[in-house]
Amino acid sequence: MEFAREHVGPRLVRTTTYVAAAWCAIALCAGAISPVALAAARQAGVEKSSVAKTPDGAQVDQYTLTNANGLEVKVLTYGAMLTTVKVPDREGNFESITLYLDSAEEYLSRRTVLGSVIGRYANRIAGARFTLDGTEYNLSANAGKHHIHGGRNGFQAIVWKAAPVQDAEGVGVKLTHTSPDGHEGYPGTLDVEVTYTLTDDNQLKMQYVARTDKPTHVNLTNHAYWNLAGAGSGDVLAHVLTINADQYLPADPQKIPTGELKPVKGTPMDFTEPKTIGSRLDQVEDRNYDHCYVLNKRPGEGLSLAARVVEPKSGRVMEVCTTQPGVQLYTGGIRLKTGRLSYGPYHAVCLETQHFPDSPNRPQFPSTVLRPGDTYRQLTVHKFSVLK
């Protein structure tokens, strides 16, 4: 596939890149720098590529972010999808630790949520309806009689506008979208911003901002599928997981919360101490975690630890912090084959930071109502490191 490339920002200029690459090649042959340092020197910055077009002719771009340590993040404007996160293992070998498809065209044809931004409402809303300020709103029912992940044509199925971001914090891309009043049944015109920022201390920040002109409900997340051993390497059952939550939300067979907050202690839901993901899977209904955890937060606390994942063989570590009150743990994986890789059950773990499912119909849950004049603002941070 022929890509049109545009280098963005002062840290990556075409002429400078060629000179640096020539110097690095000489230094590498002389043993002066490592291949890892070479990768970082060649690519630090933001790069924009035109990679596909939708059936109706809309251009899909890819933004590649690279920090000073060589970590690489790729984002498509289609679905605001996080398609690649490359980080090193303890030997300095870089691999993508998010499941991905081979090409942008595959994302368009498969209609997957792989790495996409989910909205307007992540997770489920019972009966595909809610009442707000005395008015009942009927949503698209795309999970039996229920509504999930924003409906049939949620945010994962649209092309976002995008612009590079580069400042003292790091390099990134800001994606914007205006969701019209009535889209998938939701009231209000909703202006949404999602900014991915990659910092030089190996953090990937996801900032969500939204504003509305009518009262509505908003609950945004990212649906990345993580495998710290590398995409396509097999299952994640030996990954060691910690979740900072003493309670979770029991749900019915359709995964609609009962409204109860139940202690995790003494159940296979308990990850307050590090445990392998597969250690108690046989005790979980359908042998799959698909549960929302109530994160331990003090009143008014903002960004705090949600989860920590360790892959023992590679030494890769991912810590997830969020301002959200919950995180959905999902281990079912995704069953598909790409040109080079095949994914199956348990080949990834999802840690979807979010408000609770069915909050619009559960007044005892933290509110997801957004009103005109207010701003929805949430932050999730993924911190990557390596055990020595």
Which sequence positions are flagged as catalytic?
Answer: 223, 352
Instruction: Dig out the tokens for 133 from the structure.
Output: 């300020």
Phi, psi of 17 (to 5 degrees): -60, -45
Residues 257 and 249 sit within 8 Å (Cβ to Cβ): yes
Task: Count Cα neighbours of 173 within 13 Å in the Cβ-side half-sphere.
Answer: 28
Q: Is the peptide bond before 120 cis (omega within 30 degrees of 0)?
A: yes
**Exposed, middle or buried: residue 169 (CB in 10 Å: 0-12, 13-18, 19+)?**
middle
Give the gyration radius of the chain's Cα atoms.
21
Nearest to 96 by CA among 82, 80, 77, 108: 82
Which DSSP state fits 359? G
Say how far apart CA 125 and CA 136 lie, in whole Å.
13
Tokens of 315: 């030494």
Q: CB–CB of 310/368 below 8 Å?
A: no
Q: Which residues contact 279 (CB under 8 A, 6 or more apart)?
A: none
Contact 76, 107 (CB under 8 A): yes
Q: Is 28 helix (H, G, I), strand (E, B) or coil?
A: helix
Rounded to the nearest angstrom, the gap between the alpha carbon of residue 319 and the centroid of all alpha carbons in its chain is: 13
Closest C-alpha among 210, 225, 221, 134 to residue 179: 210
Nearest to 216 by CA among 119, 294, 305, 124: 119
C-alpha 342/C-alpha 345 separation (Å) is: 11
Nearest Cα neighbor of 382 from 186, 239, 204, 225 is 204
**The tokens 């957004």 sit on which residue?**
370
